[in-house]
Amino acid sequence: MPIEKSDLLQGTLDMLILKIVALGPVHGYGISLRIRQISKEVLQVQQGSLYPALHRLEKRRWLEAEWGESEKGRQAKFYKLSAKGRKQLESEESNWNRLAGAVANIMQTAQ
């Protein structure tokens, strides 16, 4: 069952986008596809959430973008991680791993 946008923790989408873009330059639709594929269809990012997030990350200079041609021959904006974005991703990954570990510890507590 897919997780709805409202179920994601605040800031998680930004972290996921940074992680996907860190894998190599990719356009918006490609980011959405990769998140869905890698999460085995659990996470689905709608355009109404994705593009405002991409704009926000580009404004923060965590992403750099340039126009190019997609696999289908259409003009598309391709995103890549900036040096500032790489530092942000490292920080967010560290915080996420700490949080996930803490939640796992609580969930494993015997009743």
Whether residue 111 is contained in a domain is answered as no
CATH number, residue 95: 1.10.10.10
Query: How is residue 38 written in tokens?
Result: 């890698």
- Secondary structure element (H or E) that encloses residue 88, with its range: helix 83-107
The answer to whether residue 6 scores a pLDDT higher than 70 is: no
For the chain, what is the domain count?
1
Answer whether residue 2 shows pLDDT above 70. no
Structural domain contains residue 40:
yes
Full domain range(s) for residue 97:
5-106
**Structure confidence at residue 70 (pLDDT):** 85
**AA letter at 33:** L
- Residue 52 confidence (pLDDT): 92
Are 27 and 79 in contact by the 8 Å Cβ rule? The answer is yes
What does the pLDDT look like over 9-58, one tens digit per residue? Answer: 557 899 999 999 999 999 999 999 999 999 998 888 888 889 999 999 99
10 Å CB burial of residue 73 (0-12, 13-18, 19+) is exposed
